[in-house]
Amino acid sequence: MTPRTPAAEALTALLNRRRRAALGAFLPAGFPNWTAGIEALRAFVRHGADFLEVGVPHRTPAFDGPDISAAYTQALGQGTRMAHVFSTIRLVTSSTDVPVVAMAYWTSVCDFGIERFAQDLAQAGAAGAMIPDLPLTEAGPWLDAAREAGIHTPQFAPRSADDSQLRAITDAASGWVYVPAAAAPTGYQGPLDLPALHDYTTRLRATTSHPLVAGIGISTPERAADVAPFVNAVVIGSPLVRPLLHTAGPRGLEGALEQVRAFAYALRTPAAPATLPA
């Protein structure tokens, strides 16, 4: 087995801590612009994020709702390209002490080059990359390239997956398995079916020892606290993108930081579970 990079090992160690659910913060590269995005990611860490997820801007992001889609469009319109993604990750990992994961759509990876994408991510200091729209039947070249580069390949586990599909997903995963808290695009703000989420994560834990990371539909700190007992980490994206998208300058950043602080507090207060299900 190819050794993992230090960043990948750090992510594994973080997600396997059982004291509380970790907080991940998502932002597209190049949003709201290249330099402001880097400063925002660094500030997320200072205000409570345990790890970061950097999105590769994409023109047709099928898993994303209006806020993240608009952020991707803004980033692309300002000239963001794959080189900016790697530069963002490199500058953030060199100035913070938290793991960084990329989130990319498959066509972006193919257009850039699968092996090149994996190697450049590793060189930038990324712990891995999730490609949510990559069918497992086509994933072999990416899994091989990431393994060779020493980075993780977390997998998206849709709520509709049956037991055999879950087994295939978790077998292909490394680092963690992504669990959508709602079967909806990102930015969903409706109610969550917590008993169904508990049942689903129980099925997953019977299938894999990988940490579980939840996202989509975790729209408030209260919902993060509700979901935390079932998973090792939660990732928030739209609650951070929204203030940056709709309020320019320092006020937009402060709105995003208020969200980070509130989510971090919800996961770290005594009201949040101190241990996670085995």
For residue 121, the SS3 value is: helix
In order of 24, 106, 154, the CA distances from 92 in angstroms are 14, 24, 21
Q: How many helices (H) and strands (E) does the chain have?
A: 12, 8
Closest by CA position to 151, among listed 134, 172, 123, 127: 127
Spatial contact of 28 and 79, defined as CB atoms under 8 Å apart: no
Q: Give me the sign of the Cα torsion angle 28, 5, 20, 153.
A: positive
Bridge partners (DSSP) of residue 26 are 53
Region of 258 on the Ramachandran plot (φ > 0 left; ψ -120 to 50 alpha; else beta): alpha
In order of 33, 140, 167, 175, the CA distances from 135 in angstroms are 31, 10, 14, 18
Spatial contact of 201 and 164, defined as CB atoms under 8 Å apart: no
Q: What number of other Cβ atoms are within 10 A of residue 10's Cβ?
A: 18
DSSP 61-89: -TT--HHHHHHHHHHHHTT--HHHHHHHH
Residues assigned a catalytic role: 53, 64
Distance CA 133, CA 136 (A): 9
